[in-house]
Structure 1
Amino acid sequence: MQSRLALSCLSLALLAGTAHATPTLYLGMNGGTMERVYADKVLPAFEKANNVKVVIVPGTSSDILAKVQANQANPQMHVMFLDDGIMYRAISMGLCDKLAPSPPLEQIPAKARIKDEAVAVTLGVTGLGYNARMFKDKGWAAPTSWMDLADSRFKDKVVFQSLASSTFGLHGFLMFNRIQGGDETNVEPGFKAWPTTVGPNVLEYIASSAKISEMVQTDEAAIFPLTPTQVATQKLLGIPMEYAQPK
């Protein structure tokens, strides 16, 4: 399942200032690793090339959306990076301007654009992360299917991200919904089957994936939707996670 992290332009009214002042752009995006990569490797060259200063406003996609929505009449951010599901909400709320035509934009495939108001900056795979230490101790084989989330072995050990605030949780549910016979235009099969399949195994519905590492360390979480990049990042920090790509 593909996970799109999208970028959307907002009102540029904040650029107004004195003629000699360096313009400042406010960029809402995820904190942590992503913020450090952009601050160290991407933004310095952009600032130099465009004679601007970029200030990162860190937060989850839900945090950024809430801040932009609260200040819609007087925008505090020029650009926001949001997970794809949250970006669709931002567009439906009228928070995004149309993207200005440009040669670089024309080079981006149509499937990487959302209604001409947002464009993907990364594409990644969403699959299953799991607690490698717990699986080893219990002699469990690595997961191979989205339906492993419904396995009775994982009673109260599934951690699922909220569909309203996380692309990973949304993707996990949509894949489960496909298995139940639904699709992106019909999610009733998934909602109907959830209470008797995956639902009983869910320990907690969390707002952000940031909590998963803590729950893995305390062995509260056995299995959860996540990306290989996120899992690799946690492994570098010593968290006993592994990634499995479901069939």
Structure 2
Amino acid sequence: MRGKLAALAVSTAMLPAFAAGAAELNLICAADVVVCEKLVSAFEAEHSDISVNMVRLSSGETYAKIRAEARNPQTDLWWGGTGDPHLQAAADGLTAVYESPRMSELHDWALKQAEVSGNRTVGVYSGALGWGYNTKIFEEKGLKEPACWSDLLDPALKGEIQIADPNSSGTAYTALATLVQLMGEDEAFEYLKALHANISQYTKSGSAPVKAAARGEAGLGIVFMHDAVAQSVEGFPIKTIAPCEGTGFEVGSMSIIENAQNPDEAKIFYDWVLSAEVQNLMPEAGSFQLPSNKAAVASEHVPDMSQIKLIDYDFAEFGSAERRQALLARWDKEIGGRAAD
């Protein structure tokens, strides 16, 4: 028995230091997985004393997970994804108040996100909504380039379009809220019913539609324009379009979870990722959004927001729990039900 106890003592003593309580960070990343992995590897290289446990989920999935775990949070920090669900989480008290010492370095649109949420979230990047289409497929099938939202209703595009489900995807919810603000709610749902005839699939992920178009599995994907640009930069025949009637945009956001298990580590990551140096790494991972730090240098491939007709997107209204839940419920009833037929 003494021999076994001695052996156990020796083996315990030989355990690596991190097993005895090294710092951890439980991160949900709601951006493209390549971007997420780039952030984690860069952070761990600079902060070798903190081990990051990262899970990639879409914005809607993240909100649902955080809400379900409200009494016993398993997540410390939520980085990326559209701002609307971040604002809803803030309104629900699911995220914590935090003002980074880097706030003075950020663009006004990033600070507005913090102001609206009572400093429970902050903007980390921005990008406009549009679509990317496969020029090779359109040429082979003799399809006309769609320059406007109205053009997507062309019967010739039947089965050629993909868009995500707004319940799981922040991108698709932004599209839904954009159309409501452009047209009015009833008119927007009539438009979506007509568009449904041309939809081949409602995907889970917001960027999946244009990736399918890049692979030739669809003709066109309704996405954030930077996701379409990422495919063309990789060499796929994808052309990016900003709709002529006007379009919405996202403020990709970041939030610390209320009652997080590792709040100090979350704040370290939060401050770190707001720096210009870190945001300058994003194009290396194929991320072509507009960075929130004023000193960060945007990639030459980032769509020029000044050349896009942007609506005055109401983040406060469409990020509110009541408005978002009502729109999603109506989408499920009038559009999602059709998708299941």
Task: State the TM-score bracket (shorter-chain normalisation).
Answer: 0.7 to 0.9
Tell me whether 1:205 sits opposite 2:207 in the alignment.
no
Q: Which amino acid aligns with 1:160?
A: I
| Deviation, structure 1 residue 78 | 0.7
TM norm structure 1: 0.75
Check the 8 A contact 1:142/1:244 in 2, yes or no: no
Task: Measure how far apart 1:217 and its partner are.
Answer: 5.9
Q: Which has the higher strand share?
A: 1
Structure 2 match to 1:6: none
2: distance between equivalents of 1:147 and 1:111? 31
| CA offsets 1:188-241 (integer angstroms, 9 cap, x no match) | 33124432x323222222221354256436745222221333223334555442
Which whole-Å CA distance do the structure 1 matches of 2:207 and 2:174 have between them?
17
- 2:165 paired with 1:162: yes
**Residues 1:69 and 1:201: Cα distance change in structure 2 (over 3 Å):** same
Distance 1:192 1:163 in 2: 17
Identity among equivalent positions (%) equals 21
- Moved segments of 4+, more than 6 Å: none
Residue pairs, 1:141-160, within 5 angstroms? 141-160=144-163
Asked if the contact 1:168–1:226 (Cα under 8 Å) also holds between the matched residues in 2, the reply is yes
Aligned to 1:73: 71
Unmatched segments (≥5 aa) in structure 2: 1-17, 245-341
**After superposition, what is the alpha-carbon deviation per residue over 1:74-99, rounded to whole angstroms, capped at 9, x for unaligned?**
21111012322322332243311112
What are the Cα deviations for residues 14-58 of structure 1, in whole angstroms up to 9, with x where unaligned? xxxx9x84321111103521112202334533x25xx53332222
The 1:188–1:43 alpha-carbon spacing in structure 2 relative to 1, beyond 3 Å, is farther
State the Cα distance separating 1:106 from its structure 2 match: 4.2
Q: Which residue of 2 aligns with 1:98?
A: 97
Pairwise mapping of residues 108-127 of structure 1 onto structure 2 (< 5 A)?
A: 108=106, 109=108, 110-113=111-114, 114-115=116-117, 116-127=119-130
For the pair shown, which has the larger CA radius of gyration, 1 or 2? 2
Q: Say yes or no: does 1:222 pair with 2:210.
A: no
Amino acid at match of 1:73: R
Cα displacement (A) at 1:145: 1.1
Normalised by the size of structure 2, how large is the TM-score?
A: 0.56
How many residues are matched? Answer: 219
RMSD across aligned C-alpha pairs, in angstroms?
A: 2.8
- Per residue, is there more helix in 1 or in 2? 2
Say whether residues 1:87 and 2:75 are aligned partners. Answer: no
Q: Check 1:150–1:176 CA distance in 2 against 1; reply closer, same or farther (3 A cut).
A: farther
Question: Residues 209 and 222 of structure 2 are in contact (CA less than 8 Å); yes or no, is this contact kept in structure 1?
Answer: no
